Structure 1
Amino acid sequence: MGKHLSTLAHLAIAASAMALATPALLAQEAPATPTDTMANEQVKAYDWVRPQADYVRRTVMIPMRDGKKLYTVIVYRKGVTDAPILLSRTPYNADKSTSRNRSQKIEEILPVMDAPFVNDGYIRVYQDVRGLDGSEGDYVMNRPLRGPLNPTRVDHATDAYDTIDWLVKNVKESNGRVGITGSSYLGFTSLMALIDSHPALKAAVPQSPMVDGWMGDDWFHNGAFRTFGFDYDLGQTVKKGGGAVPKGTGDEYEAYLAAGSAADYARAYGLMDLPVVRKVLEHPSYDAWWQGQAVDKLLETRKLTVPIMLVVGQWDQEDSYGAPAVYQALEKQDTNNDMVSLAIGPWRHSQVNYEARELGPLKWEGDTGLQFRTRYMKPFLDCHLKTQAPTCDTPPVLTYATGDSRWDVSQQWPAGNYTPLYLGAGFGLSWTKPSAGSDSYVSDPAKPVPMLPRPIHMQGEEWRTWLVHDQRFVDGRPDVLSYTTQLLDKPVHIMGAPKVDLRAATSGRDSDYVVKLIDVYPQENSADPTMAGYQLGIGIEIFRGRYVNGFATPAALEPGKTYAFKWSLPHVNHVFLPGHKIMVQVQSSLFPLYDRNPQSWVPSIMEAKPADYVKATETIHWGGDAASAVWLPIAQ
């Protein structure tokens, strides 16, 4: 009984204590404002850059001279001062370019190529070009320089100038020195910034720049239209519903063949609603519209004031023409050989900015992209942009010798002496001119030579590596002629752009000619069995016959008449090793990358009708007074 009373007493005391404590506990645990369980749970924004981030990421709208504002992202490591600025002007979304991962580490949010720069105190700036993503204004594909083709006050040159002016005045962490870089379209905007450039712009590294869309970059090559541009146009210029042309996931060879001409294809998929498509189709020849946009021609007429390092991949499947063309245009001003440099790496389009240990089946000595960025590109920018700048020691020409896997430095480009390799009897190649002869094949537009084994998909890895695909898949076709040397007993090292001199006649009124320079590997190759007998394209390029007398003056070919068709293959540094062979293939189509030549005469191939496409006999002459040859720039 006593124990029971004692227990009750303790319980009473505990209950009293709890009663006294309950108001305080409730005040501590209950939320100040009850959550409305049916309220809208969306919030306006979340700042994913947290206070613990090791960087500052600012977004600003920079005003241009016409009042429009361009969306700009500025990123730098916390604590930097007296820092150089590295700018890129992009049509591919500045916001996404600076949020690769939503990390609190600076090297994680930026593209891989930026890490060496921001880790060494650079300020990285990405800007949406006029009219795209966060930027105001109207978007015009490759907006021409103000003048005859652009009656407005603004272009990429003025936008770059106004951007740089704002940055050096408003980014207090900078040292007032700006460099500009980027690949492809960003290479184009980098070059445009050099026209009437801002005094604070001290260096430029345009990579695979779009320079001349007709001569050899995205839209045409020597007059032949590149059909993959339709997908790019749709993705680039449509706000809603863009992307790839909705032709399904089947064989693109069949899709383009079934559609007919380029214009018929465009009409079938509603692409004529796109102004850029209409413009391109309306200008099939190298007229004033194309010539007035050629950036190498624009730069050639202006004094060079900004040091420039031009970069391109040896197997660039999109913009192989631009960088060497600008180099050739500007080099004549570089009297001390220290203002203009050219770099050619063993890369596909834009691969310089990624890991580059291999390309398709080809493997290099280490990550050649990283090697270039850290050994050559960054030192070039450092010496022109840093306040306490190191001495400049930029190679005038830097190229990677494929076949021998090494970097070469040259004082000029091309660095070889041009020597003819002649087509001859028995489908042979020789260093001496043979007696006269010829070979023929029938080119049928209904069965064009494919660019790759079918089914063909011009996207992804297949597109990125098509230039290094084994060419045995067409060797032996009746409409492909293959000429080959004997086994090489010593290396043949070429440094430059091989030149084609093809003497040919057609039974039609027009024709395309494709020439491939190929490295044929030994049939036995135990060191790398995947390369046994491999036919590696070193240079592949097309020429549209109607332009034999001038790119601005198309004319019908006279049936049976022998013409000298002359053009260049892409720029290369390659070593054909002993035990290999050199091959030259000749054909008249490369489909569906290039539209088909109807081989009859039509004013515009873009508008060719089904009845216009006819078979033609193509005759390739060799030896004597009509000696077909590929001139190789052989290094001594």
Structure 2
Amino acid sequence: MTLSKDLLRPLVLLLALCLYAAQSMAQQVNQDSLYIRQNYEKAEYQIPMRDGKKLFTVVYSPKDKSKKYPILMNRTPYSVGPYGEGYKTSLGPSPTLLREGYIFVYQDVRGTYMSEGEFVNMTPHLDKKKGKKDIDESTDTYDTVDWLVKKLDNDNGNVGQWGISYPGFYAAAGLMSNHPALKAVSPQAPIADWFWDDFHHNGAFFLPHAFNFLSSFGLPRPEPTTQRNPRFDHGTPDGYEFFLRMGPLKNANEKYLKGKVPFWNDIVAHPNYDEFWQKRNLLPHLKNIKGPAVMTVGGWYDAEDLYGPLKIYQTIEKNNPKLTNMIVMGPWVHGGWARTDGSNLSGVYFGQKNSPWYQQEVEARFFNHYLKEGAKTPVKLPEAVMFEGGNNTWREFEVWPPKQAQEKTLYFHENGKLNFEAPAAGEAEASAYISDPAKPVPFTEEVALGMTREYMADDQRFASRRPDVLTFQTDVLTEDLTLAGEILAQLKVATTGSDADWVVKLIDVYPDSAQANPHQPNKPMGGYQAMVRSEVFRGRFRNSFEKPEPFTPNQVTPVNVELQDVLYTFKKGHRVMVQIQSTWFPLVDRNPQKYVDNIFEANEEDFIKATHKVYHSPQQPTSLKVKVL
């Protein structure tokens, strides 16, 4: 087949853009790697903890010994490699801080790679410690910091800690160490509670994310090693087909994992929010923090850990009112502020390269102020540095959510209408759809094995055209509408089954006249349905996450779904859309829709079709509670 010039031209342009981006990243890596080799020396240590275990730690120190340097530490379960003579190709949170003059410390956390001890996922924090055997991440942080400031000969006595994702959890847990030398901590995309971050969202199970991660990371490490576990081979690039063919969740162990992944077995054994999960919740322990300034960082489009940054900031703010406590939320995917330029995602363009600005004007200023300048006063940065989507601009607030935001309610109506007026008498009482677990709604049009980072901003037209997805939208907006803060979907629903999931998606519908974006100049944007926020709720947990209960068939039942915060402007000429559905595959495992005590043990025959209704009558209104700025 021969391509015409009209078809060939956009393909050539797209290839050129991809090649340019790859070359730019490679050049940065090469520049950083050369700088590290020329300016840093590397040393490896086994640092003793109070219980006698030793944690493998790598220290990169400036070769220039004419002055003292602050320490920036990263504690990780993902390896501090390369081990031995090899050097990292990047150091610190950013290329900016790499060149600012720091001692960079990386540590394999307890029980991972070359560190001694037993690894425990989301190590439970012990508020009261009776002896040297009572250890957690706060004690390991304290002992590490104490060793560093006493044993290194070229530090200035000030220590900072940062980490993204799981290392973000270790940074947040390190806050409770209260070591006097720990002056600044930045938990970035931190995990707060694994019943809402990563593997679970409101009790619903994020299947490919958990399976793909734990099938490798979750394998036991019987002795110290420098080697990573092999990745699971799915035998196909199509995750939708792989997980559909796998069948009920019980088949994951029977067909593939064979009981060899301990934490998968823990998930299966604890389907509800019981003590196992509760003791891994970091939030109740974020109190009595005595010293370090805190800057929590997250991405509005983080498919893994959006709950963690927002809740950690809010909890620290509530429990430690005198502490310097900041939050930064940008237009980023998971860790995107350090791994991408932050200019676009899927079809959405964010106006500029946002990551370099953050690295230079926010992150570097934060750490330099507290670690290099030894400041006793707060850094001159606002408490909340937040990116406003839609308008593509950064905004500053004294507190988050902003106090000036006014609560309003968007109501659902018959014929797919959505507005700020309550339903009137005479309207149809409900909209219905049939949900079939055998033919679940895909979460993306892409062929992928895992949770794509783009899905958080993808065009949702493929879903709105399905009969098992309800769509409600406003008229064309006559003025801008800015939402700032949390969103609560207050659903009134009924089902012919006895269990169901409820997926709620908030969407920005572009006008038909929308122009192509700079990063995809040949992609038509007219009518694009950009997902702004989305969440899923496993209906059995509507009254309690500890004690699930079935639905009574055909009985109208309230289900409240917290969608997490936004800062987003729906522009004049756009529409606001909300989609409701009950499958989101394979992102979320399939709910059988017939109540069983443990979905991880459900059988094939438990999966049934069900008709779901969303009510929008004056007596049973469904609505979206928002905060308008």
Q: Distance in 2 between matches of 1:184 and 1:494?
A: 27
1:303 to partner: Cα distance: 4.1
**Which residue in 2 is equivalent to 1:266?**
253
> 3-state DSSP class of the match of 1:268?
helix
- Equivalent residue for 2:414? 425
Equivalent runs, 1:180-219 vs 2, <5 Å = 180-214=161-195, 216-219=196-199
Q: Give the Å deviation of 1:487.
A: 0.6
Q: Does residue 517 of structure 1 match 2:506? A: yes
- Give every structure 1 segment of 4 or more consecutive aligned residues whose post-TM-superposition deviation is greater than 4 Å: 48-52, 146-152
66, 79, 82: which one aligns with 2:64:
79
Provide Cα deviations, 1:457-481, integer angstroms capped at 9, x if missing partner: 216xxx1211111101111211000
Matching of residue 448 in structure 1 with residue 440 in structure 2: yes
- 578-587 or 496-505: bigger deviation: 496-505
Q: Using the alignment, how far apart are the partners of 2:169 and 2:350 within structure 1?
A: 28
In structure 1, runs of 5+ residues without a counterpart are 1-47, 103-107
Q: 2:181 and 2:524 mapped to 1: Cα distance?
A: 51
**Equivalent-residue separation in structure 2 for 1:631 and 1:96 (angstroms):** 49
- Structure-1 residue corresponding to 2:350: 364
Which residue of the partner structure matches residue 153 of structure 1? Answer: 134
Partner of 1:31: none
Q: How far did residue 530 of structure 1 move?
A: 3.0
Deviation of 1:54 after TM superposition, in Å, equals 2.0
Partner in structure 2 of residue 381 of structure 1 = 367
The residue that corresponds to 1:327 in the other structure is 313
Distance of aligned partners of 1:625 and 1:488 in 2 relative to their CA distance in 1, 3 Å threshold: same
1:137 to 107, 110, 117: 117
Structure 2 residue aligned with 1:122, among 78, 92, 102?
Answer: 102
Please state if 1:90 is matched with 2:76.
yes
Is 2:353 the partner of 1:353?
no
Q: Is the partner of 1:113 in helix, strand or coil?
A: coil
Q: 1:73 to 1:447 in 2, by over 3 A?
A: same
Change (3 A) 1:368 1:136: same
Describe how 1:569-588 pairs up with structure 2 within 5 A: 569-588=563-582
SS for the counterpart of 2:97 is helix
My pick for the range that moved more, 266-275 or 345-354, is 266-275
1:473-484 paired onto structure 2 within 5 Å: 473-484=462-473
- Distance in 1 of aligned mates of 2:130 and 2:525: 51
Contact 1:310 1:342 in 2 (8 A): yes
Does the 8 A contact of 1:164 with 1:201 survive in 2? yes
- What's 2:16 paired with? none
* Residue identity in the other structure for 2:526: A
SS at match of 1:53: helix
Q: Which has the larger radius of gyration?
A: 1
In structure 2, relative to structure 1, the CA distance for the partners of 1:553 and 1:198 (3 Å cut) is same
**Alpha-carbon separation, structure 2, partners of 1:149 and 1:561:** 50
Residue identity in the other structure for 1:210: I
CA distances 1:295-318 after superposition (whole Å, capped 9, x unpaired): 112214x34532211111001011
- How far apart, CA to CA, are the structure 2 residues paired with 1:534 and 1:330? 38
Give me the CA root mean square deviation.
Answer: 2.5
SS in 1 for 2:369: helix
- 1:474 partner SS: helix
CA distance in 1, matches of 2:236, 2:130: 38
8 Å CA contact 2:91, 2:104 repeated in 1: no
SS at match of 2:241: helix
Deviations 1:267-320 (A, max 9, x none): 2102521111111111111111111111112214x3453221111100101111
- Secondary structure of the residue that 1:195 maps to in structure 2? helix
Contact 1:73-1:98 at 8 Å conserved across structures: no
Quick check: 2:382–2:397 contact (8 Å CA) kept in 1?
yes
For 1:405 and 1:79, the matched residues in 2 are separated by: 42
Q: CA deviation at 1:165?
A: 0.4
Q: Is contact 2:182-2:291 (8 Å) kept?
A: no
Query: Displacement of 1:73 after TM fit?
Result: 1.2
Corresponding residue SS for 1:95: coil
* Equivalent residues of 2:127, 2:285 under 8 A apart: no
Query: Which whole-Å CA distance do the structure 2 matches of 1:607 and 1:583 have between them?
Result: 36
Distance 2:605 2:440 in 1: 16
Structure 2 distance, partners of 1:132, 1:585, is 42
SS of 2:46 mapped into structure 1: strand
1:66 is aligned to 2:55: no
Distance 1:496 1:50, change over 3 A: closer
TM-score by length of 1: 0.86
Q: Quick one: which amino acid aligns to residue 480 of structure 1?
A: V
Q: Counterpart amino acid of 2:298? A: V
- Matched residues in 1 for 2:337 and 2:253: separation? 33
Secondary structure of the equivalent of 1:273? coil
- List per-residue Cα deviations over 1:538-596 (Å, max 9, x = no partner): 00100011011111110111111111111211322111101110000000011111111
Gap change, CA 1:98 and 1:208, over 3 Å in 2? farther
Match of 2:607?
613
Comparing 355-364 and 393-402, the one that deviates more = 355-364
Shift of 1:171: 1.3
2:234 maps to 1:247: yes
Matching of residues 410-421 of structure 1 within 5 Å = 410-415=397-402, 416-421=405-410
Q: Which residue of 2 aligns with 1:565?
A: 559
Residues 50, 98 of structure 1: alpha-carbon distance in 2 compared, 3 angstrom cutoff: farther
Shift of 1:362: 2.3
When residues 148 and 279 of structure 1 are mapped into structure 2, their CA distance, relative to the original with a 3 A threshold, is farther
Show the counterpart of 2:90.
110
For the 8 Å contact 1:541–1:568, the answer to whether it is kept is yes
| Letter matched to residue 146 of structure 2 | D
Residues 473 and 370 of structure 1, relative CA distance in 2, 3 Å threshold:
same
C-alpha distance in 1 between matches for 2:548 and 2:314:
26
TM-score, with structure 2 as normaliser: 0.87
**Distance of aligned partners of 1:627 and 1:97 in 2 relative to their CA distance in 1, 3 Å threshold:** farther
Task: Give the corresponding residue for 2:475.
Answer: 486
What is residue 459 of structure 2 aligned with on the other side? 470
| Residue type at the aligned position of 2:605 | A
Give secondary structure in 2 for the equivalent of 1:193.
helix
SS at match of 1:352: helix
1:297 paired residue among 252, 274, 284: 284
Task: Tell me: CA distance 1:170–1:443, structure 2 relative to 1, closer, same or farther (3 Å).
Answer: same
d(CA) in 1 for partners of 2:100, 2:36:
22
CA distance in 1, matches of 2:36, 2:570: 56
Shift of 1:141: 2.1
The answer to whether the 8 Å contact 1:76/1:118 transfers is no
Change (3 A) 1:123 1:186: same
Aligned partner of 1:589 in structure 2 is 583
Q: How many residues align?
A: 576
Q: Are the structure 2 counterparts of residues 499 and 243 from structure 1 closer, same or farther at C-alpha, using a change threshold of 3 Å?
A: farther
